[in-house]
Structure 1
Amino acid sequence: MDVRLQQLQHWVSKMAAEQGLSLRSEILAPVSGDASFRRYFRVSGEQYSWIAVDAPPEKEDSAPFVKLARDWRGQGVRVPALVAVDLELGFMLLEDFGDRLLLPELNDISADEHYGAALDTLQHIQQIPASELPPYDEVLLQREMGLFDEWFINSLLALQLTDDERQLLADTRSLLVESALAQPQVAVHRDYHSRNLMPLDDDGLGVIDFQDAVRGAHTYDLVSLFRDSYIRWPDPRVHAWVEQFRCALKADNIPVPDSAQFLRDFDLMGMQRQLKVLGIFSRLSLRDGKDGYLADMPRTLGYLLRAAARYPETQAFARWLEQRIVPAMSAHPLFDAGELALELG
């Protein structure tokens, strides 16, 4: 057993004793983790269950998570309750939401109901005051998109870009930043998708992995939800859900553009996120040895290419993706050319 796990077990036992509770077992059962350095374990007693979190303080700053958990829960968003926190050690005990993720419960029949609940929760999040959140400004937007060049283009695909190609990428990124900053700025979860939403036994919807929240474009979380790297829906259905959210905002007297402009904002915001995600998934594989995300990269590239092809100002970028990136990815041993072709269709 590693030293930190021993320390976590001792700390959990101490926290339980301080609350007059006893553990069923000293053994912490691992539960699914995420793309960070955090580890999650389930611990239970006779009438309770908690999630124990190991977040090494030299690698993970848990203070934003703790603050947001308190703030958002106080505003009525179903984030896990904090049972105990030790930021110096990097340990936390959280309310246990169970094992149900939204992703495996989505199908053609259930999607409208589940996404309706997700949209209601998202609208609630966007109503939370965001002035204290870090801004999703040009520096951050550009830094995220730079991961595409560094990790996907240069490191994973090993492509050498010409000056013209680098200029095309720079011009595209500038357009995407301009669009993002022109949108209403609200509280943004920043990873609002089917693996971070949890249907609860009381029919509520739990929200996790929100520690990177910022103040940014009101379509960002909408893109995370409906251009989800882990599940794809037909465009007509996505467009209907996007319009449903726009109408809900309008009904709540929130200024929104017309349908065409809102969809354009959604698509361009999606391109920014997809550039970032392709870079992050590449980095997770190359730097961290987490290859499971490679299977989701063809879907993400498909989102990026189709969005770029819809608008005159990004069609040159779409052609570049088709001519330069798609062939390189198809020939790469880590990707299935047939699966890539399917996702690009």
Structure 2
Amino acid sequence: MNRQQQMQQWLSEQLTTINPSAGAGFKVESASEDASFRSYHRVTQGNKTWVLMDAPPSHEDCAPFIEIQKLLFENEVCVPEIIAQDLSLGFLLLSDLGSTLLLGELNDNNADDLYGKACDQIHLMQSITSNASNLPAYDEALLTTEMNLFNEWFIDRHLGVTLTDNEQATVSAVQQLLIDNALSQPQTFVHRDFHSRNLMPQVSGQMAVIDFQDAVYGPLTYDLVSLYKDCYIAWPEDQVYQWVDSFRHEYNQKHQSNHDQATFLKWFDLMGAQRHMKAIGIFCRLNYRDGKKHYLYDIPRTMKHLQITCLAYPELADFNRLLDKIQPRFQIA
């Protein structure tokens, strides 16, 4: 039995139980894919719809998704409900949150409101104390592994550049700086991919959160930089810093903390540099390993985020000069 037949049979069994009055017929249409081996399908039966997550067990493990969904749902984060599951087959049937992504809705007139709703979800996630520290740690080893994707897939594979010993030392020094910055921050629940393609405005007014299965326990500013220095959309720097400072004020109030503006913004910026190195490496890997060429088109925007940060911090100047040397120049505007 092939994967399509497995899917049809499993859905038939589940829908017979979930919606017995609707009869046997149902329709399955592709809803979306992501940067993993998972794919999503909208299932329609009568006037009801669900979303099927297809996560082949040979490539994906559904257990973290189920565990994190339970944690988030119990803490009132707006996430899809799990209607049915089969880990051995790699199928999850989820409630349907619609097809509207934050990325397609954002404009100058509604950004304050929509980003405010997204930050509401970050605050809810960062208020999770029970079990949050049991998540995988966003530790030095994981941070290093992520940044090494930049070395392996962008510098080595995409650019075809072999660094000298001195150049490699420059990269290593910057990576250690970014690791130290991440580990110096308060540690909290981190979604780890909290951007405009994983957020879905709802009719209820809430901002739904998806693709949370890789959550970790890590730096305070990680999800915030994923949101405001998004690899898929860019905003003027002064606007970004206004949003970040509003978040800082609210965070301080909620957690009875007193993080000052300068420290918080440096945490944020350097956290962004780590994330953007990781993302550029992943975009290249998705192209060369997985044949998903369209992700290459997101590299210039992501590189611009990275180089703007490099220009702002003297400790990143050598690394920025190296970037200018080894790659086509990306205009900083």
Q: Calculate the TM-score normalised by the size of structure 2.
A: 0.96
The 2-side partners of 1:192 and 1:242 are apart by 15
The 2-side partners of 1:257 and 1:80 are apart by 33
The 2-side partners of 1:284 and 1:23 are apart by 41
2:84 is paired with a residue whose SS is: strand
Query: Match for residue 78 of structure 1?
Result: 78
Q: Which of 248, 271, 281 does residue 279 from structure 1 map onto?
A: 281
Q: 1:253 to 1:55 in 2, by over 3 A?
A: closer
2:8 is paired with a residue whose SS is: helix
Query: Match for residue 31 of structure 1?
Result: 31
2:14 is paired with a residue whose SS is: helix
Contact 1:33 1:40 in 2 (8 A): yes
Amino acid at match of 1:265: W
Amino acid at match of 1:71: L
Amino acid at match of 1:146: N
After superposition, residues 146-295 of structure 1 pair within 5 angstroms as 146-295=148-297
Shift of 1:23: 6.0
Query: Match for residue 61 of structure 2?
Result: 61
Q: 1:319 to 1:131 in 2, by over 3 A?
A: same
Amino acid at match of 1:152: F
The 2-side partners of 1:262 and 1:280 are apart by 27
After superposition, residues 99-118 of structure 1 pair within 5 angstroms as 99-118=99-118
Contact 1:13 1:23 in 2 (8 A): no
Q: 1:245 to 1:285 in 2, by over 3 A?
A: same
The C-alpha deviation readout for 1:227-278, integer Å capped at 9, x for no partner, is: 1011000000000000010000111134242111111100000000000000
Contact 1:24 1:44 in 2 (8 A): no
1:215 is paired with a residue whose SS is: strand
How many residues align? The count is: 330
The C-alpha deviation readout for 1:37-56, integer Å capped at 9, x for no partner, is: 01111112234210011100
Contact 2:40 2:53 in 1 (8 A): yes
Shift of 1:315: 1.4
1:181 is paired with a residue whose SS is: helix
Give the gaps of 5 or more residues in structure 1: 328-339
The C-alpha deviation readout for 1:97-149, integer Å capped at 9, x for no partner, is: 01010001000001000001111111111111211110000000000000000
Amino acid at match of 1:18: T
The 2-side partners of 1:10 and 1:205 are apart by 33
Q: Which moved more, 1:256-265 or 1:7-16?
A: 256-265
1:280 is paired with a residue whose SS is: helix
Structure 1 vs Structure 2 CA RMSD: 1.3
The 2-side partners of 1:158 and 1:20 are apart by 55
Shift of 1:190: 0.1
Query: Match for residue 320 of structure 2?
Result: 318
Give the gaps of 5 or more residues in structure 2: none
Contact 1:147 1:280 in 2 (8 A): yes
The answer to whether the aligner puts 1:92 opposite 2:92 as a matched pair is yes
The 2-side partners of 1:198 and 1:24 are apart by 30
1:59 is paired with a residue whose SS is: coil
Q: 1:256 to 1:190 in 2, by over 3 A?
A: farther
Q: 1:38 to 1:95 in 2, by over 3 A?
A: same
Shift of 1:24: 7.5
Query: Match for residue 296 of structure 1?
Result: 298
Contact 2:43 2:49 in 1 (8 A): yes
Q: 1:118 to 1:15 in 2, by over 3 A?
A: same
1:30 is paired with a residue whose SS is: strand
The 2-side partners of 1:278 and 1:19 are apart by 42
2:118 is paired with a residue whose SS is: helix
The 1-side partners of 2:251 and 2:58 are apart by 41
State the percentage of identical aligned residues.
Answer: 46
Q: Which moved more, 1:246-255 or 1:223-232?
A: 246-255
1:32 is paired with a residue whose SS is: strand
Query: Match for residue 7 of structure 1?
Result: 6
Contact 1:23 1:43 in 2 (8 A): no
Contact 1:148 1:276 in 2 (8 A): yes
The answer to whether the aligner puts 1:42 opposite 2:61 as a matched pair is no
Query: Match for residue 19 of structure 1?
Result: 18
Shift of 1:33: 1.2
The 1-side partners of 2:78 and 2:213 are apart by 14
The 2-side partners of 1:292 and 1:255 are apart by 42
1:239 is paired with a residue whose SS is: helix
Amino acid at match of 1:58: S
Query: Match for residue 306 of structure 1?
Result: 308
